[in-house]
Each structure stands twice: as C-alpha cells, then as structure tokens.
Amino acid sequence: MGGLSSEREISLSTGNSVMEAMTRKGLKVFPIDVDRNIANALREIDLAFIALHGTYGEDGCIQGVLEYLKIPYTGPGVVGSALAYDKLKTKEILKFHGIPTADYEVFYKNRNQSIKRNLDLPIVVKPTNQGSSFGVSIVNTEDQWEPALKSAFKYSEEIIVEKFIEGKLLAIGMNGESPMPIVHIRPKSGFYDYEAKYTSGKTEYLCPANLSEHEINKCNEVSKKVFQVLRGRGIPRVDIILDDEGTPYVLEMNTIPGMTPTSLLPMAALKMGMNFDDLVMEILKTAQLDYGDPS
C-alpha cells in the first residue's frame, strides 16, 4: 500500500482498512508501505494483498516483482493489469471486440503535433495512465480546451480526448465473471472528480441502481465481456455510462478498486449479503501467480 504514485493517500486508506479487516479475521498481517526497496521487503511474506493504487501498483510493475519472487497476489496478472491500467490500450481492445466505448482521439506531449481535435464539444480529456480522476476534465466551451490539455499533460505524455456521453454513471463489481449489484453514482456537481469521490456528501450512491431488468442485463453482459477481454481476475470493478438510448458505454476496468468501508465495491458486496471483512477474505482467496506453481 502507499507507494510512489499520485494516489498514495488513497492507497494508504485502502491498505489500512484491508489490514484491519484481516486482523479481525485472525490473520497475521504485515503492512508494507512501498518504496524503492520493495523487493527486499516482500521476501518476508507468503502472500500479497495488493492495495497499491496507481502507477507501479495497478500497471503490472508490482505484479512482475511478485512473479519473480513466486509470491501469490490478488488482482489480475502482469498483462491484465497493464492492459486495464492503460486507457488507450483498453479503448483499442474494446473497439476490436465490438464493446461500446466513446469515440476518441489521442494526443502526445512534445511531439510537435498540432493539437487540433476533430471531436465536437462536449468532450472529456484524460491522461492514459492515471486513476482517481487526476488530470481529467470535461470541456463544454472552447476556452476550457487549453487548460484541460495542460492539466492532463501534467500526469501523462499521452492523453485521450473522447466524446462526452450523457447518461448514468454505473459501477459494476465483478466477482470473477459474476456481476455484483450495480451502483449508480450521482455526483452533486455533475462531475465525478477527485473531490466528488473522496469528500463526504459530495456524491449520492444508489445500490442497487434503479434500472430496468433489460438495462441490468445489458450492463452485466458488457461487464462480463470486459472482464474476459482485459484478462480480469479476482474482484475488479467495471465502470460504465448508460446513455439515454440504453447503450452501456465502457469507461474502464479498475483492477484494484478502493477498499474502505464507504467504497463502491464494499457497497455492492453488502447488498448481496457480504460484509466488508468477508469481502476482503473473498479477494484474498483469489490470490495466485500468472506463471506456474509458487513452490
């Protein structure tokens, strides 16, 4: 937990909540605040519950270290983590498999390219490899375009500009290939940014979401496909915008969702009769290696 990314504080919150849950369950737990000496620190453990959000934690890096050390770990493997963390690769894979996702363009920093977009407003500008809405902007007017680019380029050399989809923001936890109750996210500001995510009272959450059976089935089927094509494992979360026509547009698959008692995944689990501590244990049971037996 912790680590070196911009999501360090969120990771510490997740890690501490998970550690407390495992302690209540009677397990012997060793918290590791990740730094450059992580390989040495990991030699003391038998199994890793990854609560490391952001760069080095969700992108396949820590998974690769754990593979070398033959320590089973939670969440997707090296390839699955890398694919899901890179928003551009995610979009390309979704498009290839015919899974609905918003139209998009890609721009690069310091490549002497013209930052001239083809998509009409409104649009969303985001870094390709950040979480927690860091560097993400909704652009409704032309005067917001340049500041949005500047903000996104602070976090990534490569950014995505995609068509803004009006609709319901939904989060679907995946217990393997089995969808959990859907959470409808309703930020009071209209934009689910960092403040809306982590400030109490800024967002309303409805679980289960008030959807028709047909809408639930469509969202669940799309989430299953996303889990399959992005090499999901464990209990990730698929984020979707359900538009007014009933089309579920996929935003991303979050391979290491936030795990505090007020996070989205525990909220969905509780609706299916699984409390926070039991959810932590369920995730722990999915720990494994990509490459062979750990012995």
The structure tokens 């310091």 sit at 110
CATH number assigned to the domain comprising residue 146: 3.30.1490.20
CA distances from 56 to 52, 139, 144 (A): 8, 29, 31
Q: Give Cα 52 to chain centroid, integer Å.
A: 12
Mean pLDDT (the chain) is: 91
Q: How confident is the model at residue 43 (pLDDT cuts 50, 70, 90)?
A: confident
pLDDT at 105: 94
CA distances from 212 to 23, 166, 209, 248 (A): 40, 18, 9, 13
Helix (H, G, I), strand (E, B) or coil at 62: helix
**Res 13 pLDDT > 90:** yes
The structure tokens 């934690």 sit at 57
User: Mean pLDDT, to the nearest integer, of 126-149?
Assistant: 85
Quick one: 91 and 198 in the same domain? Answer: yes
CA distances from 34 to 73, 257, 260 (A): 15, 18, 19
Domain end point (choices 163, 181, 211): 163
In a domain, 181, yes or no: yes
Quick one: 95 and 128 in the same domain? Answer: no
Quick one: 177 and 108 in the same domain? Answer: no
Q: Pull the structure tokens for residue 92.
A: 């390309």
Quick one: 254 and 223 in the same domain? Answer: yes
Quick one: 121 and 242 in the same domain? Answer: no
pLDDT at 130: 67
pLDDT at 198: 67
Helix (H, G, I), strand (E, B) or coil at 179: strand
**Res 293 pLDDT > 70:** no
In a domain, 290, yes or no: no
Query: 20 lies in which domain range?
Result: 8-75
In a domain, 289, yes or no: no
Going by C-alpha positions, the residue among 267, 197, 220, 248 that lies closest to residue 53 is 197
Q: Please confirm whether the linkage preceding 236 is cis (ω < 30° from 0).
A: no
- C-alpha 156/C-alpha 165 separation (Å) is 23
pLDDT at 132: 52
Quick one: 29 and 113 in the same domain? Answer: no
C-beta atoms surrounding 190 within 10 Å:
9
- C-alpha 131/C-alpha 57 separation (Å) is 11
pLDDT (tens digit per residue) in 61-112:
999 999 999 999 999 999 999 999 999 999 999 999 999 999 999 998 876 5
How many distinct helices (H) and strands (E) make up the chain?
A: 10, 10
User: Which backbone phi and psi does 83 adopt, to 5 degrees?
Assistant: -65, -45
User: Mean pLDDT, to the nearest integer, of 18-25?
Assistant: 96
In a domain, 1, yes or no: no
As for how many domains the chain has, the answer is 3
CB 158 within 8 A of CB 165: no
- C-alpha 262/C-alpha 269 separation (Å) is 11
Is the model's pTM score more than 0.75?
Answer: yes
Q: Where are the alpha helices (DSSP H) in 166-242?
A: 194-198, 213-229
pLDDT (tens digit per residue) in 245-282:
999 999 999 999 999 877 899 999 999 999 999 999 99
Going by C-alpha positions, the residue among 248, 293, 228, 256 that lies closest to residue 34 is 256
Quick one: 199 and 258 in the same domain? Answer: yes
**Res 221 pLDDT > 60:** yes
- By annotation, the residues acting in catalysis are 7, 132, 198, 237, 239, 252, 254, 258
In a domain, 149, yes or no: yes
In a domain, 288, yes or no: no
**Res 203 pLDDT > 90:** no
Please compute, for residue 121, the number of CA atoms within 13 A of its CA located in the half-sphere on the CB side: 10
Quick one: 95 and 120 in the same domain? Answer: no
- Using alpha carbons only, what angle is made at residue 127 by residues 136 and 197, rounded to the nearest 5 degrees? 40
CA distances from 102 to 92, 132, 250 (A): 11, 19, 8
